Chain A
Amino acid sequence: MSDAILKMESISKSFDGKEILKDFDLEIGRNEFVTLLGPSGCGKSTILRIIGGFVKPDAGRVLFEGRDITALPPEKRNINTVFQKYSLFPHMTVGENIAFGLKLKKKSPEYIREKIDYALKLVNMEGYEHRNPESLSGGQQQRVAIARAIVNEPQVLLLDEPLGALDLKLRRVMQRELIKIKQEVGITFLYVTHDQEEALMMSDRILVMNKGIVQQEGNSKSIYDEPQNAFVADFIGDSNIIGGIMVRDRLVRIQGVEIPCVDEGFGNETPVDVVIRPEDLEIVSPENGYLRGQVQSVIFKGAYYEIKVESKGYEWMIQSVDPAPVGETVGLTIDPDNIQIMHKPVSADEEVIRDE
């Protein structure tokens, strides 16, 4: 990427002897919406805090517009942050909160006035200027926090799980609004979340992280459709992940059955992991399926049924608009396109997270 606004070069950081980031590199383009997605403790927030200037890296550099800002304190960076928890100043009104940064920059009262009006409009909070932050709902507080950051015209806006404390419905509304705000102000957004749906919906580019390492990088579609390892496949949406043998190019053996697929270049008779999304499996009559199994359970989930089918010791998860009778033997079939082949994990960070 030639037009990088922000660069991290071989950043390392440990807390209390525990290594969070090691030789981490990151490049963010102008006007990009980049999301760091990963489970808690994967280092995503630390990256944001290093860019914001709240954490000093043990090694490495942060470059902003080609300038080394590693040693700059937060107040000297042209970057603003929207924090995870409500960070509004409780003893100031909404308007005073928004004006805080502008007053520090010694802007004229007219300028500040205009900016407050503009920002409140931007986040759909007109008329709330004189309200006390503590009288606002969680969603409204985060809107004000976004307005407070935006008025400073940062070149990069950091968002640290800003919607994490909101309920599901409100989160969806806010996601759409964030996209709108991003388009309106035209600045770079670096977003941190552990919510895969949120990441898929908003981002231009997603970096899926685990244990301080980027597992996969790409746009929403490629991350979802072509997970590169078991961790990504499992973390992004529901997946059936099962061991298989790549017989040769375009043919994989799963549970002893050879099934055509579209992947190449894994070699012959190579053990691999196979990912099949639950919505890609189709239930057919036993003789028409590649695999055969017994329906274990059917759960109605609103838009679809979640069906579990057991076949040779593996429980397949299937999402289907039609239910299947529990206990019946059914066949499972799948399009070659929808089979995703991955190399076996070579390190712990590429493995599926197990609940312990």
Chain B
Amino acid sequence: MVKKLKDHLARIYIGIIALILYAPIVVLIVLSFNDSRSRVTWGGFTFDWYVKLFSNRQIKEALVTTLLLALGSALIAVLVGVPGAVGIHAMKQKNYKLFMVLTNIPMLNADIVTGIALMLWFVHFIPLGFGSILLAHITFNIPYVILSVMPRLQQMNVSIYEATRDLGAGPVYSFFKIILPQLSGGIISGFFMAFTMSMDDFVITYFTKGAGVNTLSTMIYGEIRKGIKPEMYALSTLIFLIVLIILTVVNKVSGQRQKAKYHVDY
């Protein structure tokens, strides 16, 4: 009896937490289908705001910019981050620790500091625009790639690499044929993590974008200052869904790999 009560209380408690966490987003999603400009009355179900959203040239441009940025910066971050992780992993204990701290700093550092710092540099050397945002996004994406690849490297047995060399493979062949496939799970999750981080980012983008270029987040911010339009609810809902889908996929991918990894029988 007491146990039942405890179970109920536990469930209610979790429910309250989930409600508080997600209620605002649920409200946002509901409002995106609300056939009324009011935020408090329900005017019936509609897709109007989504239709309006996709007929807006400015929004479409921002969406394309955002996706290109996310894709480009995630891709380049992988190209830089994977060899970087391999290199850091091969370092001696002291340097390894130092570089892992250096890797963590950009993630923990306040976005506004990173944003302003990057802007200060960029205004001196390159014109602010798509290029400068891309550089900024690559900068903060590399640590995510390194951090998701590193555990894979640590799990990997060094003898596996040595075995390939022993059996006649050169270092390059060995890397692409044996090491890379084993890191693939980490690389994929690192890529998507970087992708979502880039899509999500507002502060750093805002400081490094210059005039004329907008990502979804900076555009929404600009629009909202003029007054909140329901199209923005629709847009925010879409962003939320995209990120949710990506995160689910990533979790699934890395979860499966993890399971396979720990399946050992003697």
Contacts of A90 in B (CB 8 A): 160, 182
Residue of B nearest to A77 (CB): B166
Complex CA–CA separation, A104 to B178 (angstroms): 13
Residue of A nearest to B165 (CB): A74
Interface core residue of A74, A135, A137, A138 (most chain B CB under 10 Å): A74
Interface size class of B (residues with CB under 8 A): 20 to 34
Q: A84-B159, A91-B182, A138-B266 are in contact. Are A100 and B164 (CB under 8 A)?
A: yes
> What secondary structure prevails in chain B residues at the interface with A?
helix
Q: Which 10 residue pairs spanning A and B have beta carbons closest together?
A: A101-B167, A87-B159, A83-B159, A87-B163, A74-B165, A104-B168, A75-B168, A81-B166, A91-B181, A137-B266
A134:B263 contact, CB within 8 angstroms: yes
Residue of A nearest to B262 (CB): A134
Q: A91-B181, A138-B266 are in contact. Are A85 and B165 (CB under 8 A)?
A: no
Complex CA–CA separation, A74 to B178 (angstroms): 16
Given A74-B166, A81-B162, A87-B159, output 14 extra A-B contacts at Cβ < 8 Å. Answer: A52-B166, A53-B165, A73-B165, A74-B162, A81-B163, A86-B159, A87-B160, A87-B162, A87-B163, A91-B182, A104-B167, A134-B260, A137-B265, A148-B167
Residue of A nearest to B171 (CB): A73
Contacts of B178 in A (CB 8 A): 89
Residue B108 is within 8 A (CB to CB) of chain A in the complex? no
Complex CA–CA separation, A54 to B161 (angstroms): 11
A-to-B contact residues, CB < 8 Å: 52-54, 73-75, 79-81, 83-91, 100-101, 104-105, 134-135, 137-138, 145, 148-149, 152
B165:A54 contact, CB within 8 angstroms: yes
Q: Would you mind naming 9 contact pairs between A and B with Cβ atoms under 8 Å apart?
A: A52-B162, A52-B166, A54-B162, A75-B166, A91-B181, A100-B169, A101-B167, A105-B168, A152-B168
Q: 1/0 contact trace for B175-191 toward A, CB 8 Å?
A: 00010011000000000
Query: Taking the nearest CB of chain B, how far is it from the CB of A17, in angstroms?
Result: 13
Complex CA–CA separation, A90 to B152 (angstroms): 13
Complex CA–CA separation, A75 to B161 (angstroms): 12
A75:B163 contact, CB within 8 angstroms: no
Complex CA–CA separation, A81 to B164 (angstroms): 10
B160:A89 contact, CB within 8 angstroms: yes
Query: Taking the nearest CB of chain A, how far is it from the CB of B4, in angstroms?
Result: 42
Complex CA–CA separation, A54 to B265 (angstroms): 30
Contacts of B173 in A (CB 8 A): 104
Complex CA–CA separation, A301 to B164 (angstroms): 44
Complex CA–CA separation, A85 to B164 (angstroms): 14
Residue of B nearest to A80 (CB): B166
Interface core residue of A54, A84, A149 (most chain B CB under 10 Å): A54
Residue of A nearest to B161 (CB): A87
Complex CA–CA separation, A134 to B181 (angstroms): 15
Q: 1/0 contact trace for B236-266 toward A, CB 8 Å?
A: 0000000000000000000000001001111
Complex CA–CA separation, A89 to B264 (angstroms): 14
